Chain A
């Protein structure tokens, strides 16, 4: 369990993290999303007691990180891939980390097997690929068999097989009842891995919600319509929906297109048939997690101003408070 309350980090005039309140609960993969510079890494360093918060607090299993007696046994962390001396073998790297918390060579061998590095364990880490570096970082995080895992961009640099491996691993770790808190800029990856999302922009909480809710809260489903008589169909649709997009010319001599929100495909098709208008294309454009993320973080100030007169959408902070309670 990770609980942040009004967590704040200020660097001079800049607020890197601004009164962030959220929690990551056991048994779930919590995705931590935000564009570059949103304050994700700063938040992770504060969770681990590496950076001192300017305000607020954060605890791991109810205790500030620095007060844990066996830190590695409580929390495993991967902050940067290849954060290892290039001249040291992964075996010796893991052994040094393990020994500082009272673990020995036996546990080192276990985690090396777990991440599939046992055959290159004696090789100098400087020769490792980024993917091997990520595996070593994950091995380091798992050394103390911790109940809480904190991983910053763990799939960065992994090949497709490695990505599936991390995804499966994170899910199985959560299924064992561990708290898994993972940051990523790969939204599609989070859609497949995470159950819950904490989204931040410019250091502020934008959303603390389930993946499904997050996607539906963004623009919602739109339908793309392509018709040779687009202008007349658009006029008819305007009477039924307030969200009809402008007409765009079709590519390569194809019929012009536009998008409609708030109407089902069937309703649009039936309307066109009723008025004898030909339809060349009728497709649902469901907002992907990526689009939702882009929309919500592109300009979070604008989002807030927009959300003020739409009570449903400003739910972010209250939802977070509710989840904590």
Chain B
């Protein structure tokens, strides 16, 4: 120990100042470097476009009466009931896969500002999802309206018809919020099975369970607050009885995401990794 050590001088220097931009670059590299990202986004887009077109086709078969209030623009977007889960699972995985692999320790060692990491991750993922979702919902709209207008059917509407644009853009926002709900659940629960179960419970199972509660328990007043029930109002042509107005409903979903994300952030700062 008596030997005098030379003073260390590093040779490698950073190219950029550290900060949000560097973290964003890092998170973008993480997202684009996994095959599962592409597959899940493809499944989300495929389910929305495919099921949306199929639902439109079902309406042109003539077996079901079409009323004057038929929501031609919004009806195909019932496909979101399935594709929301695909994008939500991707949101869960981009957080929980870091915990299950142990990568999270490297991430938080490199950037000790954990809140910055999680927020940047959510923003980068949200932008990627929004971009894919907008393309998906527009393709779904045009494909389904083309089907609804085929032959002697003239059920389809144009994008300029009342509330059509709001429905198409809103559907993309709905998908993005479901993805972010996955991110928030993943950050809160830190385990893939737990977060996926919670996500499926919130989006799928709770709305179904509500139907079995006694009506005297203010069932309808509670049910409209559930994340998917509230968010789905954005694809309605007009406000539905016992439900929120379209944009209010979407805002309620956004509120759920924000609250869960805020709890996850608060815990992230305190919990050991």
- State the A residues within 8 Å of B (CB): 25-28, 45, 48-52, 65-66, 68-73, 75, 77, 79-80, 82-89, 92-93, 95-104, 106-107, 110, 140, 144-147, 174-178, 195-196, 210
Contact = CB atoms under 8 A, between A and B. Distances in A.
Contacts of A95: 29, 33
Given A87-B34, A100-B22, A50 B12 contact: no
A195 B2 CA distance: 11
A88 B30 contact: yes
Given A147-B10, A177-B7, A101 B36 contact: no
B16 A102 contact: yes
A50 B101 contact: no
A265 B43 CA distance: 78
Interface in B15-73: 15-18, 22-23, 25-27, 29-30, 33-36
Contacts of B25: 99-100
A71 B33 contact: no
Contact of B103 (A49, A85, A89, A98): A85
B14 A102 contact: yes
B243 interface: no
B79 to A, nearest CB: 28
B215 interface: no
A195 to B, nearest CB: 7
Nearest to A195: B1
13 contacts: A28-B1, A51-B273, A66-B112, A71-B110, A79-B106, A95-B29, A98-B26, A101-B110, A104-B16, A110-B12, A145-B11, A175-B5, A176-B6
Contact of B14 (A66, A70, A85, A92): A70
* Contact count band on B: 35 or more
Contacts of B98: 85
B100 to A, nearest CB: 9
B119 interface: no
B15 A104 contact: yes
A75 B108 CA distance: 13
Nearest to B112: A66
A28 B3 CA distance: 10
Q: Which 9 A-B pairs have the closest CB atoms?
A: A27-B5, A83-B102, A177-B8, A102-B14, A92-B33, A145-B12, A102-B16, A100-B26, A66-B112
Interface of B: 1, 3-12, 14-18, 22-23, 25-27, 29-30, 33-36, 97-98, 101-103, 105-112, 270, 272-273
B111 A100 contact: yes
Given A146-B10, A210-B1, A96 B26 contact: yes
Nearest to A86: B101
A102 B239 CA distance: 49
A24 B104 CA distance: 26
A174 B26 CA distance: 30
A28 B10 contact: no
Nearest to A323: B1
Given A101-B18, A145-B11, 4 more contacts: A27-B4, A83-B101, A100-B110, A104-B16
Contacts of B34: 85, 87-88
B112 A65 contact: yes
Contacts of A93: 33, 103
Contacts of B16: 102, 104
Q: Which interface residue of A26, A27, A51 has the most chain B CB atoms within 10 A?
A: A27
B15 A89 contact: no
A192 B25 CA distance: 41
B86 to A, nearest CB: 17
A195 B5 CA distance: 12
B23 A100 contact: yes
Contacts of A210: 1
Given A45-B272, A145-B10, A177-B6, A50 B18 contact: no
A79 B107 CA distance: 12
A95 to B, nearest CB: 5
A82 B102 CA distance: 8
Contacts of A102: 14-18, 22
Contacts of A73: 10, 14
Nearest to B117: A100
Given A79-B102, A85-B97, A70 B8 contact: no
Contacts of B22: 99-102
Nearest to B4: A27
Nearest to A97: B110
Contacts of B29: 92, 95-96, 99
Nearest to A179: B8
Contacts of A65: 112
Contact of B106 (A45, A97, A106, A178): A97
A178 B12 CA distance: 14
